[in-house]
């Protein structure tokens, strides 16, 4: 009996050791571009602003209902209700106490690409780093430079309201191993610059799949139903199918999609509503060719019927 107990305890210790190793935050940047080169480069604030709107930073981190210049006050505070609890968006203004004002470019890049904080903790995937992880480092650098030009906001961050199990951040290391990857959701013709740009805007910067793709019980994206819509995370209504299926946007032309992103009006003369309102307003600030690239990509992906 004592021998069995020793083997049991040894197995438990070994299991905990394996879990601890597998769940460790991974910090190395998976890119061929050196951060030192980007640090020495002249900040590209024009590109940074373009990425800011494409990434929808203001939609989650500005005050709810903000308009005009108030969209650039990134004090956070949005409450995101999910089956796992309520996440509260943080302050990402350049405030040195409550925001990211003390962060280095490298710390910012690690957060964006790997979901790891400057103090070495996993971020929850309510921060869509699983999409951002394919960002080009030049774009990360440009976004960082732009954010640091904005007005600091002194708002203190609030803790998330999660169950006991979900509040253990270390377990997110296992979640990342299960659901994080660098593969594109859809393969496109690499010689078609519009499709390549559209995929980058949809799959990475715009992180459209985070809302428009259904999730499994652990919160991982069901990539086999890419952009086919599903239940809203908050439990109210449904997120629409935006594939070219008859239950999605199959009847929309490329021009219809581009115009919707510019104006907020559908081909049926309906108008954008709900959380998509701020997304559309963000895309309206992008160059025309970006909206056209998104339309080209959405019309090129496989049509998938809504669940």
- Residue pair 293/177 in contact (Cβ under 8 Å)? The answer is no
305 within 8 A of 226, measured Cβ to Cβ = no
- Quote the CA–CA distance of 244 and 228 in Å, as a whole number: 9
Asked if pLDDT for residue 84 goes beyond 70, the answer is yes
Q: How far is CA 210 from CA 131, 149, 239, in A?
A: 8, 28, 11
Any idea which of 182-186, 207-211, 233-237, 251-255 has the lowest mean pLDDT?
233-237
d(C-alpha 202, C-alpha 198), whole Å: 6
Q: Which residues of 70-80 are buried (b: 16+ CB within 10 A; e: fewer)?
A: ebbbbbbbeee
* Rounded CA separation 124/171 (Å): 10
- Rounded to whole angstroms, the Cα distance separating 285 from 58 reads 12
pLDDT in tens, 32-54: 445 665 666 678 999 999 999 99
User: Residue ranges per domain, the chain?
Assistant: 33-179, 193-300
- Of the ranges 66-80, 166-180, 286-300, which is most confident? 286-300
Output DSSP code: residue 217. T
pLDDT band of residue 87 (cuts 50, 70, 90) is very high
pTM of the model: 0.89
| Cβ-contact 126, 119 below 8 angstroms | no
Model pLDDT, residue 1: 67
- The percent of residues in the chain predicted with pLDDT above 90, rounded, is 62
What is each CA distance from 247 to 90, 239, 241, 251, 271, in whole angstroms? 36, 12, 7, 9, 18
Instruction: Say how far residue 233 (Cα) sits from the centre of its chain.
Output: 15
Predicted confidence at residue 8, as pLDDT, reads: 54
Section 272-276 average pLDDT: 86
> pLDDT tier at 3 (50, 70, 90 boundaries)?
low
Average pLDDT of span 185-200: 96
Q: Which residue has the higher pLDDT, 152 or 4?
A: 152
Average pLDDT, the chain: 87
Residues shown for the chain: 307
Q: Which residue has the higher pLDDT, 162 or 296?
A: 296
CB 279 within 8 A of CB 201: no
CA 291 to chain centre: 19
**CATH class label, 193-300:** mainly alpha
Q: What is the pLDDT of residues 111-120, one digit of tens each?
A: 999 899 998 8
The β-bridge relationship of strands 230-231 and 85-88 is unpaired
**What local confidence, expressed as pLDDT, does residue 30 receive?**
46
For the chain, how are helix, strand and coil distributed in percent, rounded to 5? 45, 5, 50
| Residue 106 to residue 130: CA distance in whole angstroms | 18
Cβ burial 111-134 (10 Å sphere, 16+ → b, else e): bbbbbbbeeeebbbbbbbbbbbbb
* Per-residue pLDDT, 34: 55
What pLDDT was estimated at residue 42?
78
- pLDDT tens track for 133-177: 999 999 999 999 999 999 999 999 999 998 777 777 878 888 888
Res. 31: pLDDT tops 50: no
Tell me the per-residue pLDDT of 203-239, one tens digit each, with 9 for 90 and over.
Answer: 999 999 999 999 998 889 999 999 999 777 655 678 8
Rounded average pLDDT over 78-89: 89
DSSP three-state, residue 285: coil
């Amino acid at each position: 009996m004592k021998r069995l107990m020793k083997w049991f305890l040894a197995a438990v210790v070994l299991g905990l050791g394996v879990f601890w190793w597998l769940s460790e935050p991974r910090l190395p940047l998976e890119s061929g571009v050196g951060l030192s080169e980007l640090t020495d480069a002249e900040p590209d604030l024009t590109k940074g602003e373009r990425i800011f709107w494409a990434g929808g930073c203001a939609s989650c981190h500005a005050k709810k209902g903000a308009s005009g210049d108030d969209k650039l006050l990134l004090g956070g505070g949005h409450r995101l209700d999910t089956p796992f609890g309520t996440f509260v968006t943080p302050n990402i203004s350049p405030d040195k106490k409550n925001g990211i004002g003390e962060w280095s470019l490298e710390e910012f890049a690690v957060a964006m690409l790997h979901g790891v904080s400057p103090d070495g903790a996993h971020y929850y995937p309510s921060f869509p780093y699983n999409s951002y992880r394919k960002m080009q480092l030049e774009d990360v650098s440009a976004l960082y430079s732009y954010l640091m030009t904005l007005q600091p906001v002194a708002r203190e961050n609030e803790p998330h309201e999660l169950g006991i199990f979900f509040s253990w951040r270390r377990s997110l290391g296992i979640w990342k191993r299960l659901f994080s990857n660098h593969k594109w959701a859809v393969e496109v013709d690499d010689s078609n610059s519009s499709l390549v740009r559209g995929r980058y805007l949809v799959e990475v910067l715009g992180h459209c799949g985070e809302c428009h793709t259904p999730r499994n019980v652990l919160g991982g994206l069901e990539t086999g139903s890419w952009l086919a819509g599903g239940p809203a995370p908050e439990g109210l209504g449904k997120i629409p199918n935006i594939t070219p299926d008859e239950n999605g946007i199959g009847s929309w032309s490329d021009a219809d999609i581009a115009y919707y992103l510019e104006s907020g009006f559908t081909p049926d003369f309906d108008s954008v509503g709900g959380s998509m309102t701020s997304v559309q307003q963000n895309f309206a600030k992008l160059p025309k060719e970006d909206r056209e690239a998104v339309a080209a990509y959405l019309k090129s992906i496989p049509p998938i019927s809504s669940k």
